[in-house]
Amino acid sequence: MTNYLIRRIIQMFFVVFLAALFTYFLFNISPGGPLAGIQQQQRRITREDLARLRAQYELDFYWPFRFSRWLIGLPNGPIVIAGQERFTNLAVGCYLRRDEQVVEQDGQMVVIPAGCDQFVFLSDIPTLHPEVRSSKGIFRGDFGQSTVIRAGRPVWGEMMTRLPATLELMITSVLLSFLFGIPIGIYSAIKQYSKFDYTFTTVSFIGAAMPTFFFGLMMILAFTVLPNMLQEQFPWLPKLPPGTRVAVRPYAVASWLPRVTPGTPLDRFLHLIMPVAVLTFFNMATWSRFVRSSMLEVMRQDYVRTARAKGLVERTVIIKHALRNALIPFVTIAVLTIPGFFAGAIITETVFAWPGMGRLYFEALTRSDWNIALAFIFITAVLTVIATLLGDILYTVVDPRIKYT
């Protein structure tokens, strides 16, 4: 077990490192980024200004060095070996780039880097990149600064302002899905091929296959748009707020209800209903199917037959003998929800304009705020890897027959 754990943890580091390298590389081969189009916007910008801006975003480093600075905060100056500064003349980047304008075949002018007028040497780093501006590396908990969405502010702070919204959404929906999904799955298994089973198997089938964004739009259509359009004929129809987390102005849910004040628990509850419903429907569908099949598997086992033959009440057989074993595989699925508590739900949050992590990531991608996107991917990857390991360990705890070597 110890050997197994050590091997797994080494593998985890490797996986996370590869994922980080892969995403960092992707962002670096892509054009765009914080300074894209700045020369078109401000025509009087000089080469020196541009170089200073590039240095501020660390774009003057070659990408392997930039990656290493992003990951572990090194190199942050000449490497000191045995009291002596080494490699002071190693060029790690290009401060002043020489650009060349080239006319392409289709007649378009394209600027391509043609050389370097002033390199960044290891010994230049402390002067060009003072400690205050540079990040200490994500392994030391510094995710750098946002470049577009909240330019100049730390990424971590921005994520912390978004996390509560995501936690609120995800925790509520996961709890509700457990609450409904497990009993539905168990009951469908006990009453296999009954009306209840058929209904819920079909419902969960549809729930798992339904695209969440379309379901979200349908919710908005049914509970916001239609009541709005039918307001004249049916003023008593309640309508729900279609997006964001809290309202700005007081609003009426229905004519027969008092107006809702923004920021109150009721207001937040009303905003939560639709996104939570979408996520719950999806999770509940997948989980109840899972519990059903695992329960059916267990009910076929010999020891369940033995328990029945012993003359135990059906209720005891199901709860004490079958259920506990049926929920074993479910542990792994439940653990895998952990990364979601951080990452949120990208599509659902976008549909409902929910100010959570998923939407932050999506904004960061479309607006080229690489540091935020990278931090999101990195933390999600770490949490996924930890959750997978935790699931495997929990498996041995709940089922002692399984042993890892």
Partner 1 sequence: MTSVAQPVILNDAAKDEKQESQIRVIFRRFRKHKMAVISLILITIIFVSSLLAPVIAPFERDAIDLSSSIRPAPPGTVDSQGRVHYLGIDHLGRDLFTRVLYAARVSMSIAILVVLISETFGAFLGALAGYYGGITDTLISRVIEFMLTIPTLPILLILSAILLRRDVVIPLPGFVNRFLSAMLLAPEREAQKVVMLVFILVLFGWLGAARLMRGMALSLSKQDFVEALRATGASDARIIFRHIIPNGIAPILVNASLALGGVIVAESALSFLGLGVQDPTPTWGNMLSTSQSYMFQNPWLPLVPGVFLVIVSIGFNFIGDGLRDALDPRLKR
Given the rule CB under 8 A, which residues bind partner 1?
Answer: 15, 18-19, 22-23, 26-27, 29-32, 202, 205-206, 208-214, 217-218, 220-221, 224-226, 228-229, 339, 343, 346-347, 350-351, 361-362, 365-366, 373, 376-377, 380-381, 384-385, 388
- Least distance to partner 1, CB of residue 267, Å: 21
Q: How many CB atoms lie within 10 A of CB 161?
A: 12
Q: How many CB atoms lie within 10 A of CB 274?
A: 24
- Least distance to partner 1, CB of residue 275, Å: 15
Q: Which residue lies nearer to partner 1 by CB, 29 or 248?
A: 29
Q: Which residue lies nearer to partner 1 by CB, 212 or 294?
A: 212
Distance between CA atoms of residues 88 and 219, nearest Å: 62
Using DSSP's 3-state secondary structure scheme, residue 91 falls into strand
Q: Is 73 exposed, middle or buried (0-12, 13-18, 19+ CB in 10 A)?
A: middle
Q: For residue 81, give the DSSP letter.
A: E
- Least distance to partner 1, CB of residue 225, Å: 5
- Least distance to partner 1, CB of residue 366, Å: 7
- Least distance to partner 1, CB of residue 219, Å: 11
Strands (E), 105-166: 109-121
* Angle at the Cα of 117 from the Cα atoms of 112 and 122, rounded to 5 degrees: 110
- Least distance to partner 1, CB of residue 317, Å: 24
Q: Which residue lies nearer to partner 1 by CB, 96 or 363?
A: 363
Q: Which residue lies nearer to partner 1 by CB, 330 or 370?
A: 370
* Angle at the Cα of 29 from the Cα atoms of 25 and 31, rounded to 5 degrees: 135
Contact predicate 358/169, CB 8 Å: no
Q: How many CB atoms lie within 10 A of CB 4?
A: 14
Q: Which residue lies nearer to partner 1 by CB, 179 or 206?
A: 206
Q: Which residue lies nearer to partner 1 by CB, 318 or 346?
A: 346
**Which runs of consecutive H residues, i.e. helices, occur in 61-194?**
63-72, 125-128, 155-190
Q: Which residue lies nearer to partner 1 by CB, 121 or 251?
A: 251
- Least distance to partner 1, CB of residue 32, Å: 7
Backbone angles phi, psi at 27, to 5 degrees: -65, -30
- Least distance to partner 1, CB of residue 102, Å: 17
- Least distance to partner 1, CB of residue 4, Å: 15
Q: Which residue lies nearer to partner 1 by CB, 159 or 327?
A: 159
Q: Which residue lies nearer to partner 1 by CB, 137 or 339?
A: 339
Residues recorded for the chain: 405
- For the chain, how far is it from start to end, CA to CA, in angstroms? 6
Query: Who contacts 289 (Cβ-Cβ below 8 Å, separation ≥6)?
Result: 185, 201, 204, 205, 208
269 pairs with which residues across the strands?
none
Query: Who contacts 90 (Cβ-Cβ below 8 Å, separation ≥6)?
Result: 121, 122
